[in-house]
Structure 1
């Protein structure tokens, strides 16, 4: 079908087309607007999701929202700050009690820990529980209020074509079926696991399905006494004899819950009512445990996948993939949306820098170089967390009858499961994963010879300001946060020992029209010790571009600033990427290159 001439549109050069109005698309638009760049967001659905999907905005995402001055407002829509984040592992609510638990601090408790532990290991912001359905609705409102963001819900991307000069996107207005052609300089594809942007670019998706499928039921219940019989919980994991029963998430600490009920192989989910699934899950080993269900909100079946796109950008660096379009994972660990938010911040500031005139092609090249390795680690880690539960099931296998008794065998099995979970407690607390990722790309200026990178720990954030890293958070002598001193664009943190070098960098930034805030912190010995160098150049996303003690001349200073904003794209040849090599992840069944090859027919919208 040809496109009518009146339906051919050319966006201004300073306007980015965003395909997908979920959390990643909306945050991408917000980041662009934060840096003064316009965008148009096309979303196939007529409104935001009614599905719960994610339920935790992690510590790094909250730090990034703090940079957008949105963290405090976000918290007003989430679970109250005094509520604990307790995770229970049990064989069923009819049993005497949970086998073990993870007791994560509330936001208030976490904030006190941050204030008291000023050693650089802590985040600037605690995490925040908030359902994606609530999060998306809030973000949509924020975008509607911003003059630089235009939202078009009920418009879906059909195909997209990239050229050296720009992009042509075919988009259908779902209400009328009319086809439109939009021409733009840049597109960010945030259009989900079955991404039309990714398919149009013919980018393979490596990975595969996990060996389990779930029935998701999102419901309301005021029967809190029975639901919290074993104690108030955020997450509840049910272990069965030889299989993982599933999980329940308390979404709002009031009345909204979500279960993920494991489907046995060959079982038709249509034969199980939502109420039956809820009772079976909560009953665990002891048979159905009924609660009063006030309302079924939504239900769906899904088979989680663990996969990463082979590339995150088109060959012409005009189209970029973010969120589920680029990577998918199982829910354990909460890496899905949070990894996508990291994508949004990265591509958002880089596109803004290019459109605003001071960023060059190397910035666009660096997006895949930086974000794909993070996605590979996070996606793999989600499988590791899921494997933790499956390993606990193996410990229970064949001993289920004894667990409910006070026998020696039962106590030994429960003790083994308790020990296992306490030794593998990284789900939602692997801060090395969340805060400790270190970029390596054409826009990161590495340390000189002899500088050794500190060891990396997936569970614990190791403070470092090495180029590519998120530097340590620390409170200064006056009680203020060093992160709060950083500017919106580039920042030069100067501990006061290298005036000539700082002046050279400031002069180079001025010559290149790079917006740079000079932050002098003389006498801040504790912060300087944690930041490791007297001069640290920090990017708009809070990662380090360069650090050092001195520079020999103006030419070297200019080279550093040029590299930081993408002038030297060819440097990537010295550090070739290995993204053409297929990978396989923990908990996957074989390999696949397209989502349709393994998604359930009845999966609804949960992973769309």
Structure 2
């Protein structure tokens, strides 16, 4: 007998969102977290548009929006020209500045309210794989113990015990740059989103809810593989004065830290009944604040697939698509991170010239701004279909269509696909497909975006990506839909 259907190693934002999603689909889940309490340091600070959309698709976004500080854009490589997120095709065209401690608190409240079990002060030490289950080995205040689960998911960070125990290689490059950050009180704060770059280094200042500012940067002496010791307030002040000409009246540090640019990607995200998500799968320099957000998207992709197979309406082969879809996102993530590090450390004359050129291009080419903003905000992620003849929308993120008096995000659920009859109820035969794991909704969209105006029907996955679509003037959609469902539904 299973103790839980899924055990999640790691109670950070990724593991907590995964647990909440599994519970929404009726799956029993245990989160094992070695910390006895949440880390009060802000750590991940940025919540990107696609993450807010993901929360909105479950109706839980409002606390994040109300508590977070909206910022109209972000940066790519700390270039002088900031990316304008207000142009993005999203109901949330901004980033939120919200300390990770609050993000975790909100996600933990959700997971507990949905019935997830959270075991603090314990750590997954390994596992033994069996044909029909995973024996998960834990240790805690009362010593070692073993639990039985159908699946184990490693959300346990860059030094993942689950990844190591699974024997999954995680190749990459070592750290050659040491960034630093300080969460401090500033008596003379600069304008929100201020940044400085020159021969003496890089400095960015970001307001944090609670009267704190985060100062983050790099200086030429930080291009090293030698650890210089812990960051001090005096060093942070010295760096700020050297780069920006002021220490902004900094005092009362809440957190001082250094971090490197070691970049690694797991060879595979699945090993039998064991999966990796978040930092356990990909490690990179925290440029643009994307790490936590990509991890939450990992969880969003994996959760419904685990639930679908455990609830019996999808074949086990569906689980293979988790690696197939998310590993390429990890490749893009690590590559983009490396590119940003190159721009952020281009302190010489030639590097500064390259930065000025790139900044001018972002200003002169709105499409470049939009492409980079959509990439950082995870709105550009698409999962290409195996069938080259599939509709062009297949695999793309579904927008928040207004259908009648309801938005599409409000219709999505963690436990089922959504089949949209966009003719208002005239598409022949679509109602017959309603079954466990698939709901049908009828209604004509109001002012649909480009590419959606001519659709007769669309099948949207629980994570908000299009699984299948058919145009109004195409062939009878029934046969195509039946083929699409054959790979995802029993």
TM-score range, shorter chain: 0.7 to 0.9
**2:395–2:466 CA contact under 8 A, matched in 1:** yes
Matches within 5 A, 1:406-555: 419=360, 422=363, 430-432=373-375, 434-440=378-384, 444=385, 446=387, 448=389, 453=392, 466-475=393-402, 480-488=406-414, 489-496=416-423, 499=426, 501=428, 503=429, 505-510=430-435, 513-516=436-439, 518-522=440-444, 524=446, 526=448, 529-530=451-452, 532-549=454-471
Structure 1 distance, partners of 2:136, 2:413, is: 35
Structure 2 distance, partners of 1:373, 1:418, is: 27
Which residue in 2 is equivalent to 1:150? 117
3-state SS of the aligned residue for 1:561? helix
How far residue 129 of structure 1 moved from its aligned partner, in angstroms, is 1.8
- TM-score, normalisation: structure 2: 0.86
More strand by share: 2
Change (3 A) 1:217 1:548: same
3-state SS of the aligned residue for 1:125? coil
Which residue in 2 is equivalent to 1:198? 163
3-state SS of the aligned residue for 1:48? coil
**2:316 equivalent to 1:361:** yes
Structure 2: stretches of 5+ with no match in the other structure: none
Q: Which has the larger radius of gyration?
A: 1
**1:40–1:149 CA contact under 8 A, matched in 2:** yes
Matches within 5 A, 1:574-593: none
Match for 2:152 among 164, 180, 187? 187
Cα shift readout 1:17-64 (whole Å, capped 9, x = no counterpart): 000001100110111112222211001111122332222111111110
Cα shift readout 1:333-361 (whole Å, capped 9, x = no counterpart): 22211110011111111111122221221
Structure 1 distance, partners of 2:463, 2:283, is: 23
Which residue in 1 is equivalent to 2:209? 252
- TM-score, normalisation: structure 1: 0.71
Change (3 A) 1:134 1:383: same
**2:263–2:285 CA contact under 8 A, matched in 1:** yes
Matches within 5 A, 1:97-116: 100-102=80-82, 104=84, 110=86
3-state SS of the aligned residue for 2:270? coil
Instruction: Count matched residues.
Output: 481
**2:343 equivalent to 1:388:** yes
Matches within 5 A, 1:7-156: 11-12=2-3, 15-79=5-69, 81=70, 85=73, 100-102=80-82, 104=84, 110=86, 122-126=89-93, 127-146=95-114, 148-156=115-123
Structure 1: stretches of 5+ with no match in the other structure: 1-9, 91-98, 114-120, 400-411, 454-465, 568-608
How far residue 367 of structure 1 moved from its aligned partner, in angstroms, is 0.8
Structure 2 distance, partners of 1:421, 1:558, is: 44
Matches within 5 A, 1:264-413: 265=224, 269-270=228-229, 274-284=232-242, 289-314=246-271, 316=272, 318-391=273-346, 393-395=347-349
3-state SS of the aligned residue for 1:233? coil
Match for 1:209 among 167, 171, 174? 174
**1:312–1:372 CA contact under 8 A, matched in 2:** yes
Cα shift readout 1:192-231 (whole Å, capped 9, x = no counterpart): 0010111111111121134211343333x141x2x31xxx
**2:427–2:456 CA contact under 8 A, matched in 1:** no
Please provide the CA RMSD for this pair.
3.4
**1:19–1:25 CA contact under 8 A, matched in 2:** yes
Change (3 A) 1:235 1:532: farther
How far residue 485 of structure 1 moved from its aligned partner, in angstroms, is 4.1
Change (3 A) 1:11 1:420: same
